[in-house]
Every structure is written in C-alpha cells, then in structure tokens.
C-alpha cells in the first residue's frame, strides 16, 4: 500500500537544537501513534509535514506531495490539531469551524452543514454557539478536532489531543481518535508522550528519541516485546478472584494497585487475551480494561535489549 507519509533523511536544525536528525520513515494508512518524550521532535515532525516549518535537510512526502514545494496540496488534504491553544476566545465553535471550512474552499452553505456535522460528531452539539473562551480544556480539544475534520481530509495530524484532559475526557478523546481511523477510514497520525494511550488507538507505533527513530512497529509487536497485559475487572472482590482464577489457569499475575498485570510472554498475546476474557466471563466480572502493561515510555525501554530499532520501518515500502 502507498505510504501516506514518506521521509528520507529528514532533518531540522534549529541552530541550538537538532530537532530531527536524518529521519527516514514510512507511515502507512490506518492510525499511527507517534510517541516520544518532551523535545523528541514530534511537533516539529508534524509541522514539517504540513509545510509550516521548513526542513533543513532531507525530504518529506505527504500523500504523494513534496511538502517543500506542494504545501498547498498537502494542507488541502490534511487536517491538523495543533498542540497549543489556538482558539479565538470570543468566537463560537460553530463560527470558527464554519470559517475554517470556507477557508478550505467549501461554499458557505456546505461549510455550515459540514461544521454542524463534525461538531455533533465530536460531541459539541449543545455548546457550539457559545464563545470558546468559556470552554473547558476538553471542549477546546473537541473544537480543535472538529476544525481538523471539517474539510474531509484524507489524513489528520493530531498533536497531543489528550493533553490536559482528565481521565474521562481522555477516554472520550481516544474514542473519537479511534473512530476517525476505524469508522471513517481517514489516516491518522497522533502524538503523545504516553505509549499506553496510543496503543489503544494505533495500528502502528513510531517512537522518536532526540530526533531519531528509536523504533517503529505494529502495535501488537510492542505487546510481544513487553509481554504483559494490564487488566481491570469490576465486581465483588474482583481483583482477588480474577487473580486466583488466572493463577489457577496457569497464567502468572501480579497486582498493580487496583489493577492486575498479567504475564503474556509465553503464550502470545491472542491466547492470553482469550484466557482473560473467558475467565472474567466465567466469574461474572466486568472486564473494563485490557491493554499492554507499560504506561510510560521508560517502562518499555527499561530493558536495554528492547531498545533496538526494529528491523523494518513502520510499514513496508511499496
Ligand atoms: N522554533 C524553535 N526554535 C528553536 N528550537 C525549537 C523550536 N521548536 C522546537 N525547538 C526544539 O526542538 C526540539 C524538538 O521540539 P518539538 O516541539 O518538536 O518536540 P516534541 O516532541 O513535540 O515535544 P513536546 O512533547 O514537549 O511537545 C526541542 O528541543 C525544542 O526545544
Ligand atoms: Mg510537541
């Protein structure tokens, strides 16, 4: 499949800081999580893809367009959720999204219809006529997401969409991100410094460190590497009963706060996921969470043998 993003030795030297260091990477369709610590180069990478910041070396193509010479074509086909607050406080989300839709070339009536649609989709139906200055962080992030979608992009670049959100708002935003990719077939690149939340929504994960590629692989291969699942069950005495039943089934389990960390190393992820699911069902417990057990990037790379760059880039070329 054609990559949606292809970079070759892409470099950004800000002078004092080398933000991207000869980064060669292909990103395919589907949802790709771009993870890295503060300063890893995530935002710089997205801004270069949009043609907002020029690279100082190498090249990048988005949807077959060279970002250095065809920025307008790129931006017509790409939606962007910037990391920082960029919303005019006195303007309503409705007016804002309609305006950006028209700037992207939609006629006024079509822009109105489309804006109402995307605002409903992100869950801002009621509040969309209020000035955005009075919005909570969660509502602001939703308004930023709506404007990224208004012109029917083929690719959206979401820079830390969960930044500043409480757990409930974070889950809601991750649900929206997942639906953009899975239900609408739009390619998504989403950044975070938390690998744990990206692997819930991403088909592929790319790890940047100091402007270089640390690792790119399918999300489920990260699970293979760490070999543990984080499980949360609800019900009477749920964690203890679940832990006992899993141990009885021969699956090693350790408690982690109110959660269970289930060893998935020897069986392959499918198998252990099935065991967890069946065990919860047999005990009559609600299974509310099952995800790879490494919430922070540091956990993933705690074992140095794990930190090798993966053999192939995120998606095979060609
Ligand atoms: N306009 C700029 N001028 C100079 N240095 C910059 C500029 N923008 C970014 N940098 C530097 O480049 C490096 C990468 O920054 P970037 O914002 O791309 O990282 P990031 O991965 O998005 O980080 P964060 O998680 O904090 O958002 C950092 O060291 C940053 O200080
Ligand atoms: Mg950033």
Strands 78-81 and 31-35: unpaired
Nearest atom within ligand 1 for CA of residue 43? 22
Ligand 1: centre distance to CA 58 (Å): 18
The environment of the single-atom ion ligand 2, i.e. residues with CB closer than 5 A, is 42-43, 83
Q: List CB contacts of 192: < 8 A, sequence separation 6 or more.
A: 33, 34, 35, 160, 162, 198
Quick check: 314 pLDDT over 90?
no
Of all residues in the chain, the percent with pLDDT exceeding 70 is 88
Residue 103 CA to residue 106 CA, distance in Å, equals 7
Average pLDDT on 259-279 reads 79
Q: How far is CA 46 from the centre of its chain?
A: 13
Give me the sign of the Cα torsion angle 134, 136, 141, 145. negative
Nearest CA among 18, 22, 40, 13 for reference residue 209: 40
∠ CA 136-111-68, nearest 5°, is 85
Ligand 1: centre distance to CA 236 (Å): 47
- Residue 246 half-sphere exposure, CB side, CA atoms within 13 Å? 30
Which residue is closest in CA terms to ligand 1's atom 3? 14
Pocket lining: 82 vs ligand 1, CB cutoff 6 Å: no
| For the chain, the helix, strand and coil percentages under 3-state DSSP, each to the nearest 5 | 40, 25, 35
Ligand 1: centre distance to CA 39 (Å): 5
Which residue is closest in CA terms to ligand 1's atom 26? 38
Quick check: 225 pLDDT over 80?
no
Greater confidence (220 vs 6) lies with 6
Instruction: Give me the sheet containing 78-81, strands edge to edge.
Output: 78-81, 155-158, 187-192, 31-35, 204-209, 212-218
The pLDDT tens digits for 101-119 are 999 889 999 999 999 999 9
Average pLDDT on 173-199 reads 91
Q: Which ligand is in closest contact with the Cα of 49?
A: 1
Nearest CA among 210, 207, 184, 186 for reference residue 195: 207
Quick check: 228 pLDDT over 90?
no
The pLDDT tens digits for 287-310 are 988 887 654 444 555 444 433 333
Pocket lining: 42 vs ligand 1, CB cutoff 6 Å: yes
Average pLDDT on 165-180 reads 94
Average pLDDT on 206-223 reads 86
What pLDDT was estimated at residue 168? Answer: 92
Pocket lining: 84 vs ligand 1, CB cutoff 6 Å: no
Average pLDDT on 153-173 reads 95
Residue 273 CA to residue 251 CA, distance in Å, equals 11
Q: List CB contacts of 77: < 8 A, sequence separation 6 or more.
A: 62, 63, 65, 153, 154, 155
The pLDDT tens digits for 8-48 are 999 999 999 999 999 999 999 999 999 998 999 999 999 99
Residue 56 CA to residue 89 CA, distance in Å, equals 35
Ligand 1: centre distance to CA 295 (Å): 23
Instruction: Among 10, 12, 17, say which to mutate for ligand 1: greatest number of ligand atoms within 8 Å of CB.
Output: 17
What the block records as the tokens of 158 is 């979401």
Pocket lining: 17 vs ligand 1, CB cutoff 6 Å: yes
Greater confidence (318 vs 265) lies with 265
Residue 5 CA to residue 206 CA, distance in Å, equals 13
Pocket lining: 38 vs ligand 1, CB cutoff 6 Å: yes
Structural domain spans, the chain: 5-222, 228-292
Greater confidence (152 vs 306) lies with 152
Pocket lining: 192 vs ligand 1, CB cutoff 6 Å: no
What pLDDT was estimated at residue 270? Answer: 52
Ligand 2: centre distance to CA 216 (Å): 19
Ligand 2: centre distance to CA 269 (Å): 32
Helical spans, DSSP H, in the chain: 42-49, 71-77, 93-103, 108-122, 137-149, 167-182, 195-201, 219-226, 238-248, 269-283, 297-300
What pLDDT was estimated at residue 235? Answer: 87
Architecture per CATH, domain 5-222, reads as 3-Layer(aba) Sandwich (3.40)
Which residue is closest in CA terms to ligand 1's atom 30? 39
Ligand 2: centre distance to CA 33 (Å): 13
Architecture per CATH, domain 228-292, reads as 2-Layer Sandwich (3.30)
Strand partners, 78: 155
Tokens 């490494």 -> residue? 294
What pLDDT was estimated at residue 294? Answer: 59
What pLDDT was estimated at residue 271? Answer: 75
């Amino acid at each position: 499949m054609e990559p949606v993003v292809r970079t070759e030795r892409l470099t950004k030297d800000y002078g004092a800081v080398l933000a991207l260091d000869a980064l060669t990477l292909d990103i395919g369709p589907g949802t790709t999580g771009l993870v890295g610590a503060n300063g890893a180069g995530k935002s710089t990478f997205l801004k270069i893809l949009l043609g907002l910041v020029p690279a100082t070396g190498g090249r990048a193509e988005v949807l077959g367009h060279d970002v250095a010479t065809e920025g307008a074509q790129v931006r017509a086909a790409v939606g962007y959720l910037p990391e920082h607050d960029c919303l005019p406080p006195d303007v309503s989300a409705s007016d804002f999204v309609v305006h950006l839709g028209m700037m992207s070339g939609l006629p006024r009536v079509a822009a109105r219809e489309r804006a109402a649609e995307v605002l409903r989709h992100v869950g801002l139906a009621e509040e969309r006529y209020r000035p955005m200055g009075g919005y909570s962080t969660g509502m602001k992030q939703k308004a930023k997401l709506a404007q990224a979608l208004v012109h029917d992009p083929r690719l959206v670049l979401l820079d830390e969409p969960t930044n500043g959100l409480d757990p409930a708002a974070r889950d809601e935003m991750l649900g929206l991100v997942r639906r953009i990719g899975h239900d609408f077939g739009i390619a998504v690149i989403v950044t975070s410094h938390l690998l744990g939340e990206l692997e819930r929504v991403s088909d592929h994960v790319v790890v940047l460190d100091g402007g270089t590629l640390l690792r790119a692989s399918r999300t489920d291969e990260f699970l293979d590497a760490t070999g543990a699942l984080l499980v949360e069950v609800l019900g009477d005495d749920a964690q203890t009963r679940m832990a006992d039943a899993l141990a009885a089934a021969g699956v090693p389990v350790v408690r982690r706060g109110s959660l269970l960390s289930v060893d998935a190393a020897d069986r392959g992820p499918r198998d252990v996921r099935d065991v967890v699911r069946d065990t919860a069902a047999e005990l009559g417990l609600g299974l509310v969470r099952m995800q790879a057990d490494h919430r922070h990037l540091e956990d993933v790379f705690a074992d140095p043998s794990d930190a090798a760059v993966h053999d192939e880039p995120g998606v095979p070329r060609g």
